[in-house]
Copies of this chain bind each other. A is one copy, B any other.
Amino acid sequence: MAIARHRAGRERRPTLEQVAERAGVGRGTVSRVINGSPRVSDRTRVAVEAAIADLGYVPHRAARALAGNRADAVALVVPEPETRLFAEPYFASIIRGVSTELAEADIQLLLTLSSTATERERFAQYAAGNRVDGVLLVSVHGEDPLPELLAENGIPAVMNGRRSADESFPHVDGDNVGGARAAVRHLLERGAAAVATITGSRDMYAAQCRLDGYYAELAASGVDEDEGLVAHGDFSEEGGYRAMYELLGRRPGLDAVFCASDLTAAGARRALREAGRSVPGDVALVGFDDSAIARHMDPPLTSVRQPTEEMGRAMTRALLAEIAGEPAAAPGLILPTELVRRASS
């Protein structure tokens, strides 16, 4: 029901009008100075700036938004079931990237957790209700109606990641294929004879890419594929644990495993320990995401890091461009990943 009462004792802030009076100019001129219009003489600009400083004037956001038919704010939408995302450095640094980029443009960041599909539809409504200029989407699943809802309503939006190879929605993603290739190449270079992999959820495109990268690197290195070395996980620790046992049962001689996520690697590591295999002595292990777990595993886990902060910045820049009506250069942007070597391989 929103906020009911006015606060007492909060002094009234100076208005444009007062600045204008003080500077001895008209309202329009002050507005021009504030918005960096070139159509103001230097002398006038200096005088206005002085008045602004004197009065400690700060533009009133709501008034600006109302008059200018914009919000000067963008929303970052996070699926509620995945607030675990917050627990990832991945996400933290995306936010940092978004935040710095927005600060430069003097645009506010609204954080929205949406749980149900209905709530996401409601959000599209709200977004349309002139509350935000654009939307940043994180962790979008295949069935999520939000991207299309936003598109229908003509609300600029950019998502993190892709839902398929030919994603038409504007997006910024890390190079999953390249990261997986680097990981596998690293294992091969270390002399691994049988490199296995534990995949992520099969219905997620990122998991598919990481598997593709695995195959691609093997092919490039002239190593024959062996389906017995591929086990399916679901990005979870438990999935990694089960898949590792599966692999050990099928190919006891394997000496390296590329896991589709750090959590998966943690599960695999547990299974390996139970099975009496040492890491990296018997089996070398590489994960993906470079999350907090990776650094704190025993031994610390080699992992693929995505340029997350830069991804946040890139998403934001793309969104601001879209909002400004600039024609999109490309539907999406793929940023390079990096292998972080630690003791597990």
Which A residues are closer than 8 A to B by beta carbons?
1-11, 13, 35-36, 56, 58-66, 68-73, 76, 80, 83-89, 91-93, 95-96, 99-100, 103, 105-113, 125-126, 128-131, 133, 153-156, 237, 266, 270, 273, 291-293, 296-298, 320, 323-325
Contacts and interface: CB of A to CB of B under 8 A. Distances in A.
A332 B57 CA distance: 34
Given A58-B129, A291-B292, 4 more contacts: A4-B324, A63-B66, A85-B92, A86-B86
Contacts of A72: 2-3
Given A10-B153, A63-B66, A87-B292, A107 B58 contact: no
A5 B324 contact: yes
A92 B99 contact: no
Most-contacted residue by chain B among A7, A8, A10, A69 (CB, 10 A): A7
Copies per complex of this chain: 2
B324 A3 contact: yes
A216 B5 CA distance: 45
Contacts of A73: 110
Contacts of A113: 95-96, 99-100, 103
A3 B125 contact: no
A129 B61 CA distance: 8
Contacts of A86: 86, 89, 91-92, 95
A293 to B, nearest CB: 5
Nearest to A14: B129
Given A110-B110, A292-B292, A325-B8, A92 B84 contact: yes
The residue in A2, A8, A100, A293 that gathers the most chain B C-beta atoms within 10 A of its C-beta is A2
A39 to B, nearest CB: 15
Given A2-B106, A125-B58, A7 B325 contact: yes
Contacts of A93: 83
Nearest 6 CB-CB pairs, A to B? A86-B92, A58-B129, A62-B65, A10-B154, A62-B66, A99-B113
A1 B89 contact: no
Contact of A13 (B63, B105, B128): B128
14 contacts: A1-B35, A1-B105, A1-B106, A2-B106, A3-B105, A3-B324, A5-B325, A58-B129, A62-B71, A80-B96, A86-B95, A100-B113, A103-B113, A293-B293
B62 A3 contact: no
Nearest to A6: B69
Nearest to A263: B296
Q: Most B CB atoms within 10 A — which of A71, A86, A100, A291?
A: A86
